[in-house]
Amino acid sequence: MSEQNKYAINIGTFGKNIVGEAIANKDSFLYNEAEGYDSGLIGYHKPLSQAMFSNYRMVETIGTLLDPHYQVMARWDAEQWEAYCRVVLLTFQDYVEKGAAEHSYVLFRAKGYIENSVSDLYKLNGVAGLAWDNDIYARLRVVVDFIADAIEILGKKPLPPHLQLRVKGEHRHLHETFYDHLARMICEVIFHASSVASPWWECWNIQHNLVWDGLFESHKLANVAGKVVMFKVRRQLYDEVARMSDFPNFKGAKILAFCLNVMGLREGKDEDRGRALHKAVLAWTRKNYVWLHKYNFRVAETCLVANTAYDEENCRLVKTSPAEGLRREAHYVYLELDPAKPETPGDG
């Protein structure tokens, strides 16, 4: 089909089934062709994977190769999601090489499947002593690696001339590109990760060490594409936080909790990719937190993770680093807050 450029052949069901079975069977070609170091020469050449997934036009026309049945996907573990991500990246690489000038339905759906694979992160909230090989934890690593690899692929090509840094308007979805899709995917992964608010170490390990370092500090995003995607991410994150000025909600509160946790209550001096977001988030919190606590204390409490508390008497937030390990005394960081504004959302 690929060599003869004849893609409109009715093999949709066959293709969907064979890919589903290949992912289910960990002795299939998808695993034997994983990496050259583990698989030898066949791992470098990936003959079957290349034949099935490296032609974007064929994959898009068939339409089902990246669409396993949802009940099958629900049973996949981290290793199986990793295999799926590998074949999606093969298709995505050819899509980018060919200019990425059109909306890809198969890749857009695949992106959604991958980001939803960590939607059960909330199950880790309150669970102490998480093992490194915990499957939910491992799936999050797979998703973060997929995003970084996808942005690295985008970074190998010049920015498209039709790219808009800020997509606005009623029909903005018509002007969105995969830069926007990946930015939204990062925001969804951050939202899922924000569901783990305690214990402190597990929360820090997931939110900072895995998600923040894996994306905001990754060398794979140190290119023009990475700068564009992360600009869009920062804008979307702040918009979710700022929206609470008019409509206090738990999604915005969890996003704020994530930002305050990974970036801290004190503005850093070094220039980094998150400094603008950090400065804006601290300013919003300083101005609005006391009001938010009076308006809806449940939403306000959701804005704080395990080691951060609201000191109502002194009108400040307190982040505590306990005395443990080499630290002989507890360490405290404060964020002084403004007095409460009127209780109606949007006032002030």
28 in a domain, yes or no?
Answer: no
Q: What is the DSSP letter of 23?
A: H
Residue 101 domain flag: no
Question: pTM of the full predicted structure?
Answer: 0.91
Overall domain count for the chain: 1
Whose tokens are 């988030």? That residue is 281
Q: Is 293 inside any structural domain?
A: yes
Rounded to whole angstroms, the Cα distance separating 183 from 239 reads: 13
Range of the domain at 218: 118-307
CA distances from 183 to 130, 227, 280 (A): 28, 11, 19
Q: Is residue 48 part of a domain?
A: no
Q: Does 282 map to a domain?
A: yes
Q: Is residue 235 one of the residues assigned to a domain?
A: yes
Does some domain include residue 265?
yes
- Spatial separation of the C-alpha atoms in residues 104 and 60, rounded to whole Å: 7
Residue 213 lies in a domain: yes
Furthest CA-CA distance within the chain:
75
pLDDT tens per residue across all 348 residues of the chain: 777 777 777 888 888 999 999 999 999 989 888 765 565 555 666 888 999 999 999 999 999 999 988 888 999 999 999 999 999 999 999 999 998 888 999 999 999 999 999 999 999 999 998 888 899 999 999 999 999 999 999 999 999 888 888 887 666 666 789 999 999 999 999 999 999 999 999 999 999 999 999 999 899 999 999 999 999 999 999 999 999 999 999 999 999 999 999 999 998 765 566 788 999 999 999 999 999 999 999 999 999 999 999 999 999 999 988 767 667 777 899 999 999 776 666 554
DSSP strands (E only) in the chain: 308-311, 316-321, 331-336
